A and B are shown apart, each in its own frame.
Chain A
Amino acid sequence: MKQFTAFLGAAVAVAIGLSLAPARVSAQASITATAVVEPALTVNAGNDLEFGSVLPGFMKTIAVSDATAGTFDLAGAAGAEVNFTFSALPSDLTFGANNLPITYTGVHNTVNDPITGATSFTPSAGDTTPLHGTTGELYVFLGGTVDATGSPPAGTYTGTVTLTGAYTGN
């Protein structure tokens, strides 16, 4: 019986405690989470790299600033850093089973100018650089030298050059 009484006492104490507790009041505030997703990077082919006529026994060079230099342009988020590489950069142009060795030179610029403000890079390595801070553009100019000193058979030699670009995230 004593034991029962003690239990009741505890029950009453709990009930009193609950009745005296302050009402639970909550407060609330909101903020907005915002993220601006920039345009995807695009790469466009411009001019082909055209060597024109090449005489057997000679080398022929097209400078990056020549009208027949190869060009690409990249476009994306203004000021974003991109890495570009040539995912295809043949060491020979081919005509059937015949090869014509080729080497390359490259510059890039955030404006369409291969001279003023242009930066040289090694085409086999590519480069990492920011897009233009306002227009989000980058121009890549590709020159090269074909070596016909081995007197290759006459014909039209070709190869495909492919440029791949990607944001670095910076």
Chain B
Amino acid sequence: MDLTLPASLMSGPSNLTVVFGSSDGGYANRNRIDESLPFDPTLPLITDLKNGGRLFVWLGGTVLPTSVQPSGAYNATIVLTVAYTGN
């Protein structure tokens, strides 16, 4: 599992720095965030689907607006790519 993460969110020509910490990712085999295990979303993750064949992924992050950050709605796309390892 690999996340393609933006370094900033955009609003027109303005950008807003976004950072993802080493425990900002979470994953679990059920849709229960309280059961999730943290992972570093900047690094690939290998895990098992286990029973049910499902995996739920949560992603947090921190935006760092400057004191003169132009107001507006900033966004960016996050892509999750998954593949069987063959194991």
Contacts and interface: CB of A to CB of B under 8 A. Distances in A.
B72 A33 contact: no
A8 interface: no
Nearest to A39: B71
Interface in A1-56: 21-22, 24-40
B76 A27 contact: no
B16 A31 contact: no
Contacts of A26: 81-83
Contact of A24 (B6, B69, B83): B83
Main SS class of interface, A: strand
Contacts of A34: 9, 73-75
A29 B83 CA distance: 12
B75 A35 contact: yes
B21 interface: no
A40 B59 CA distance: 28
Contacts of A33: 6, 9, 18, 61, 75-78
B73 A36 contact: yes
Interface in B11-66: 11, 16, 18, 59, 61, 63, 65
Contacts of B72: 36-37
Contacts of B18: 33, 35
A25 B83 contact: yes
B80 A30 contact: yes
A21 B81 CA distance: 20
B71 A40 contact: yes
Given A35-B63, A37-B71, A30 B77 contact: yes
B71 A32 contact: no
5 contacts: A33-B75, A33-B78, A34-B74, A35-B65, A37-B74
Interface of B: 6, 9, 11, 16, 18, 59, 61, 63, 65, 67-84, 86
Interface of A: 21-22, 24-40
Given A24-B86, A35-B16, 17 more contacts: A22-B84, A24-B83, A24-B84, A27-B82, A28-B82, A30-B77, A32-B76, A32-B77, A33-B18, A34-B73, A35-B18, A35-B65, A36-B72, A36-B74, A37-B65, A37-B71, A37-B74
